[in-house]
Amino acid sequence: MASALDPAWLLHRRPYRDGGFLVDFLTLSSGRIGAVARGTRRKQRGGSTVGLLQPFSPLLIEMSGKGELKTLRRVEPAGARLHLEGRRVFSGLYINELLSKLLPRFEPTPELFSAYGDLVAQFQHYEALDALRRFEFLLLETLGYGIAFSEDAYGEAIDAAQGYRFDPLQGFLVKHFDDRGEKHNEAVDTFSGTTLLAFQAWKEGAVLTVEHARLLRQIGRQAISHQLAGRSLQSRELMRQFLSGQINSPDQPDGPPAMSEA
């Protein structure tokens, strides 16, 4: 009896032995999975394997093997490849790299899988910065590090008149609380209670002001950097180089850059 094909998105690929690839997928039923793809020039339904193993292409895959690294047995297109342009390509590579580096393997995340497809579809048409922020915070929640904006690190309700600082391990701490007696730059790391309550309203569907969106990005970046534990994101460097004119947009690359697993 044939195995059911699993809906999947390619997160990352890099060359491996005689024209093969080491690939990383986000799948519906099994979460993130690594596999070896061999014989990638052979024709399959929808084209050659190498032609199908592209970023931002909805796929159906079948894998085998009992170890952590599976063998890709079959791959088919599940729909048209999504075409990203300009800086949106780098935003797509950014979320791919985040998932590859932060998601544990073999843990199904159907909500994240659905959100990924929705976000990449939006990237076809516009930058979707609000949807990108929501995806980042959903990823943090999936990892067990969801951020509560309605209460501080001690479970007390956020006071609109108070100032807070964000600690990635604990949450929001009242500004005067500092075991080390350090002074902080309020322009950099202080968030008013009013702002935090606006973030809570955003989680419930409200729209942020431009300034609040900037501050939310700052918190998300701190939390994600903590999860990365010192590992850099090559997609951020590629975006920086693109914005400074050092490189051109790949406008739908033939494959994601060979990003290290470190």
Planar angle of CA 10, 227, 141, nearest 5 degrees: 75
| Average pLDDT of the residues of the chain | 88
Domain boundary at 34, 60, 81, which? 81
**Contact by Cβ (8 Å): 60, 54:** no
> Does residue 47 lie in a domain region?
yes
pLDDT confidence of 3, banded at 50, 70, 90? Answer: low
Q: What is the residue range of 37's domain?
A: 1-81
Most confident of 2-6, 116-120, 251-255: 116-120
CA distances from 165 to 150, 172, 197 (A): 14, 6, 14
Q: Are strands 47-48 and 59-64 parallel, antiparallel or unpaired?
A: unpaired
Domain count, the chain: 2
pLDDT confidence of 141, banded at 50, 70, 90? Answer: very high
Residue 245 has pLDDT above 80, yes or no: yes
Same structural domain, 105 and 158: yes
Query: In whole angstroms, what separates CA 258 from the centre of its chain?
Result: 17
Contacts of residue 99, defined as CB under 8 A and 6 or more positions apart, other chains included, come to 11, 26, 32, 116, 139
Give residue-wise pLDDT tens across range 51-81.
Answer: 899 999 999 999 999 999 999 999 999 999 9
> Does residue 262 lie in a domain region?
no
CATH number at residue 57: 2.40.50.140
Task: Note the pLDDT of residue 247.
Answer: 86
Residue 262 has pLDDT above 80, yes or no: no
Task: Note the pLDDT of residue 19.
Answer: 76
CATH number at residue 223: 1.20.1440.120
Strand partners, 7: 60
Which residue has tokens 């790299």? 97
Query: What is the helix (H) or strand (E) element at residue 62, kind and residue range?
Result: strand 59-64
Which residue has tokens 């690839």? 21
- Look up the pTM and report it: 0.88
Same structural domain, 57 and 104: no
Pull the structure tokens for residue 126.
Answer: 């516009």
Pull the structure tokens for residue 169.
Answer: 């391990």
| Mean pLDDT for the stretch of residues 116-127 | 97
Task: Note the pLDDT of residue 259.
Answer: 47
| Side-by-side strand order, sheet with 163-167 | 171-174, 163-167, 191-192
Domain boundary at 46, 81, 116, which? 81
| Mean pLDDT for the stretch of residues 100-125 | 97
Same structural domain, 211 and 91: yes
Task: Note the pLDDT of residue 44.
Answer: 57
Residue 111 has pLDDT above 90, yes or no: yes
| Mean pLDDT for the stretch of residues 188-202 | 93
| Mean pLDDT for the stretch of residues 228-247 | 92
Contacts of residue 79, defined as CB under 8 A and 6 or more positions apart, other chains included, come to 58
Domain boundary at 39, 58, 81, which? 81
Helices (H), the chain: 49-52, 87-102, 110-123, 129-142, 186-189, 193-203, 210-228, 234-243
